[in-house]
Amino acid sequence: MLQRIRGVRQDDADRRRDWYQDEYFDLFVWTGAEGAVLAFQLCYDRLNHERVLAWSPERGFLHRRIDDGEQSPVKNMAPILVTDGIFAADHVAMEFDRRAAGLEAPVREFVLRKIVEADTALPFAASAA
């Protein structure tokens, strides 16, 4: 179940940033003064092959894999985003719906709607079997 992380640093006076986390997801949501979602980043499959689905009105959708840079036990490299062609929207939507029950309804519904929308908006989306 996604839980709110308390004490998140706020960098922008015009937008509020919230962070929710469980063992599968990290969700970062930026909202305006009225509470409307302005952008989000949904990191999923955190413990295996972490990927991120991001959305903002200026840039639209972005889907990338997170390369943690940890290929050698003697070298600690910074994580980077790399191209990842497959977005399994059905699976991500199902997991999100199951784990996001405790989120505020407008945020939960907005992010879920965008996950479904990304299935057709991204060039390499694939429904999970």
- Who has greater pLDDT, 125 or 15? 15
In a domain, 95, yes or no: yes
Write the pLDDT tens digit of every residue in 8-62. Answer: 999 888 999 999 999 999 999 999 988 899 999 999 998 888 899 999 999 999 9
Give residue 38's pLDDT.
Answer: 97
In a domain, 18, yes or no: yes
In a domain, 42, yes or no: yes
Task: Let me know the angle formed at the C-alpha of 92 by 101 and 42, rounded to the nearest 5 degrees.
Answer: 75
Domain interval for residue 73? 3-121
Give residue 82's pLDDT.
Answer: 47
Give residue 129's pLDDT.
Answer: 36
| Residue 32 and residue 38 in contact, taking contact as beta carbons nearer than 8 Å | yes
Mean pLDDT value of segment 109-124: 90
In a domain, 68, yes or no: yes
Q: Please tell me the number of Cα atoms within 13 Å of 128 on its side-chain side.
A: 10
Write the pLDDT tens digit of every residue in 67-112. Answer: 665 555 555 555 545 466 678 899 999 999 999 999 999 999 999 9
| pLDDT at 128 > cutoff 50 | no
Total number of domains in the chain: 1
| Residue 6 and residue 12 in contact, taking contact as beta carbons nearer than 8 Å | no
Map tokens 């990304």 to a residue. 118
In a domain, 129, yes or no: no
Classify burial at 26, counting beta carbons within 10 Å of its beta carbon; exposed 0-12, middle 13-18, buried 19 or more.
middle
In a domain, 35, yes or no: yes
In a domain, 7, yes or no: yes
| pLDDT at 1 > cutoff 90 | yes
In a domain, 59, yes or no: yes
